[in-house]
Amino acid sequence: MDFKDYYECLGVSPDADDKTIKKAYQKLAKKYHPDVNPGDKTAETKFKEVSEAYQAISDPEKRRKYDELRQDYQQWQKRGGRGDFDWGRWQAHPGEGNHQTYSMSPEEFAQMFGGSSGSGGFYGSEGFSDFFSTLFGGGQSYGFGGAGVRSRAGQDLEVDVQVTLEEAYHGTTRVIRTGEKQIQAKIPKGVRTGSKVRLAGQGGPGISGGAAGNLYLNITVSPDERFIRDGDDLKVILPLNFYKAVIGGEVRVPTFGGEVLLKIPPLSQSGKKFRLKGKGMPKLENPQQYGSLLAELSIILPDNLNQQELDTLRELAQKRGIT
């Protein structure tokens, strides 16, 4: 299926306002109208093309969807256009677009073509290209009169969002852009990779009074340099010098809520774990509750012992029978 540049077809820029688009369409439709060009198949084809383009970008909802597709398609081309473009992502839902009519009043027709209202409804759904039907659904028709558009809910949208583990701990916000709309989305505490944040009514706009769709944020939490996450618990490796491991003492443990003091008993072995309750991640379902922080000791041997200290250690080793 070929992409159609509707702005190019009408000879207008992508940021053209409604008045400019309508004026361009009227000029081209008058030029290629079959009543003006009887029996001219080329003119008839051209008339269908400009009518389709106008149908797509004169309607705010259709234009918003088309603009998003156009931007996505252009980015795909800039990347070299390798592989097949994902048309399925933009395909209309089953039943979408059915029984829609572009209605032109007799007065508008007379203004455009300088005559009577003509023969209404002479193009059916066969006047639309595969591109248009894929994007907006089938069953529309051009016509004249007062036919309306059936109310329909807007399309649900999805956006991928990446946050840090610390942002997942505190909660954060992201500015999300969908078409021409910009939303400051709140991401709650405790989200995990795979979490879906639902923003009700922030998806595609409804048609003819239909409810707006929802916007879903697909969350990915990036790895952290200090902590490893395990559900609502966090794990941290706690470096401990040799002397404190032998005689005991207090050490500072990092947490997302600030450092806390941990008392280390004498003769603590490397790999020993300490559970600090309530110092893990907030629970997504109940952010007032927190998991635990598991601090695992990693004993660091001294690397700057003087000769006297080495002799003392050798003497101690000999008394214990260590050679």
Lowest-confidence range among 38-42, 71-75, 151-155, 177-181? 151-155
Intrachain domains 6-144 and 232-319 with the same fold: no
What confidence score (pLDDT) does residue 150 get?
A: 54
- Confidence (pLDDT) at 323: 66
- 232-319: CATH topology is HSP40/DNAj peptide-binding domain (2.60.260)
Q: How far apart are CA 218 and CA 196, in angstroms?
A: 5
Distance CA 230, CA 165 (A): 12
DSSP three-state, residue 240: strand
Return the pLDDT at 144: 37
* Beta partners for residue 221, in sequence order: 163
DSSP assignment string, 229-292: EETTEEEEEEEEEHHHHHH-EEEEE--TT--EEEEEPTTPPTT-EEEETT-SPBPSS-TT-B--
Instruction: Say what the pLDDT of residue 255 is.
Output: 96
Measured N-to-C along each axis, helices 106-113 and 18-32 cross at an angle, to the nearest 10 degrees, of 70
**Cα–Cα distance between 9 and 38 in angstroms, integer?**
22
- Segment 140-167 mean pLDDT: 71
Question: Has residue 95 got a pLDDT over 60?
Answer: no
Q: Which among 42-51, 86-95, 186-195 has the top mean pLDDT?
A: 186-195
- pTM listed for this prediction: 0.51
- Residue spans per domain, the chain: 6-144, 157-221, 232-319
* Averaged pLDDT of the chain: 83
pLDDT digit string, tens, across residues 100-128: 444 444 444 444 444 433 433 333 334 57
List pLDDT tens digits, range 191-229: 999 999 999 999 888 766 778 889 999 999 999 999 999
Beta bridge partners of 251: 262
**Letter string b/e over residues 288-298, b meaning 16 or more CB atoms within 10 A of that residue's CB:** eebbbbbbebe
Which percentage of the chain shows pLDDT scores above 90? 50
Tell me, what's the pLDDT at 315? 87
Give me the residues paired with residue 205 across strands.
Answer: none
| CATH no., domain 6-144 | 1.10.287.110
Cα distance between residue 115 and residue 279, in whole Å: 79
User: CATH top-level class for 157-221?
Assistant: mainly beta
Taking only the tens place, the pLDDT of each residue in 46-75 is 988 998 999 999 999 999 999 998 998 888
80 vs 251, residue with greater confidence: 251
Point out the least confidently predicted range of 94-103, 118-127, 151-160: 118-127
49 compared with 152, residue with greater pLDDT: 49
φ/ψ (deg, to 5) at 173: -130, 155
Q: What is the pLDDT of residue 286?
A: 93
Q: Which residue has the tokens 């941990």?
A: 262
* pLDDT at position 100: 45
> Which carries the bigger pLDDT value, residue 123 or residue 93?
93
pLDDT exceeds cutoff 60 at 140: no
Higher pLDDT, 258 or 99: 258
Which strand ranges, in their side-by-side order, compose the sheet holding 273-276? 227-230, 233-241, 293-300, 273-276
Break the chain down into helix, strand, coil percent, rounded to 5. Answer: 30, 25, 45
